[in-house]
Amino acid sequence: MTQHGTQQPPSTESTAPAPAAIERHRADGLLAFCEAALGAAGADADTAAAASRAMLHGSRFGVDSHGVRLLDHYVTVIAGGRVKGAPDLRFHQGAAAVATLDADHGHGARAAYAAMDLAMEKASLYGIGAVAIRNSSHFGAAGAYALEAAENGFIGLAFCNSDSFVRLHGGAERFHGTNPIAMGVPVRDEDPWLLDMATSAIPYNRVLLYRSLGQALPPEVASDAVGHDTTDPHAVDMLAPLGAAFGFKGAALAGVVEVFSAVLAGARLSFDIAPMGGPDFATPRNVGAFVMALKPGAFVTEMEFDVAMKRYRDTLRASCPAPGDMVMAPGDREWTVAAQRQMEGIPIDPATAEAFDRIATRFALPRPRPVS
């Protein structure tokens, strides 16, 4: 969900660009609708606020797979009982600078924002703080929590595991989840540096995009049901780890995320997690996650950090591009999309628009109205 050159399609980790006729909405209207719908489905105020905020992160930055498209799913899992609408979050503090959060099967965003709040508090006191999260659920875009830290002046990291969908290097069955790595770094008076990447070669919604466009996939990004590489998006049964011929690196990075999010948290391992898409929406899944915050001023002076970070990113942006190509820093694409959507509104795909209709009717809520 990060920077890329121009040689590949424009939305690397997001869904297809919206056609001209699509609905566009203001962020505040979407936020209010999401909160009201989640509340009506059984979420307490903190859960509704956290889940809605995380969805708007996705919608704002162009990560539409993790945007308000998820509202329908979240309503289903809260109403169905898989996700507890009013969880009793419990922190276990085994040492001063770390904690484990038992999320009581609440919403992943509720848990992750609370965990990052505690990680930042610990980083303020000890220079670094980390919280492992168990008994959680889908938390949306990992970048939301990394950004939360960066906007508060901390370096923030966020990981999570998820149900198996990515094979190992040399493997022929689903093993890891798409296990994302997110990191945010504050840059004084500027937008943060922001990385949010799956450790799979591509995200699954990219496969769906190629499928709907009737195009062949790039080689070495996905496999069929027996583990053979395939470029046919209809034949895809699992994703490849990042790195193609060097996929042992992507698989190992997925392992880094798995160790932090599941092993260290006491959460379920990816291959033990029930599928996000059901059919069971009543049983908790015990997804894991991990967040960490570091206080730059505990290592160097804030001024040293600010000067170096700005110089690092400025120099990166000015690095000589290949002919016909361009270079971008992590997050640059997202900030550009956010500025554009701030002006033009957030595009809502037809399936999500139709879900809004259903949800509004079901809970007798005013359906959000597109901008003119």
Report in angstroms how near the CB of residue 338 gets to its own copies at its nearest. Answer: 18
Binding piece for its own copies, criterion CB under 8 A, among 105-113, 207-215, 259-267, 344-352: 259-267
Instruction: Determine if 204 is a binding residue for its own copies (CB under 8 A).
Output: no
How many alpha carbons lie under 13 Å from residue 77 in its C-beta half-sphere?
25
Per rule CB under 8 A, is residue 147 in the interface with its own copies? no
Could you give the CA distance from residue 232 to residue 240 in angstroms, rounded to a whole number?
Answer: 14
Choices 41-49, 124-132, 276-284, 346-354 (CB under 8 A): range interacting with its own copies: 124-132
Phi-psi region of 47 (alpha: psi -120 to 50; beta: other; left: phi over 0): alpha
Interacting residues with its own copies between 180 and 199 (CB under 8 A): 181, 183, 185, 193, 195, 197
Site string for its own copies, 162-181 (x = CB under 8 A): -----xxxxxxx-x-----x
For residue 44, give Cα distances in angstroms to 50, 84, 267, 283, 360: 10, 9, 24, 19, 18
The answer to the question of residue 207 lying near its own copies (CB under 8 A) is no
Q: Degrees (nearest 5) of the Cα angle 138, 329, 342?
A: 65
Can residue 6 be called a binding residue for its own copies (CB under 8 A)?
Answer: yes
Answer yes or no whether residue 326 interacts with its own copies by CB under 8 A: yes
What lies within 8 Å, CB to CB, of 149 at 6+ separation is 116, 119, 120, 155, 156, 157, 184, 291, 293
Look at residue 94 and give its three-state secondary structure.
Answer: strand
Work out whether 244 is an interface residue with its own copies (CB under 8 A): yes
Task: Please identify which residue in 204, 281, 312, 363 interacts with its own copies, judged by CB under 8 A.
Answer: 312
370 within 8 A of 25, measured Cβ to Cβ: yes
339 binds its own copies (CB under 8 A): no
* Nearest distance, CB of residue 334 and its own copies, angstroms: 12
Report how far residue 206's alpha carbon sits from residue 13's, in angstroms, rounded to the nearest whole number.
7
Q: Which of 263, 274, 353, 365 binds its own copies (CB under 8 A)?
A: 263
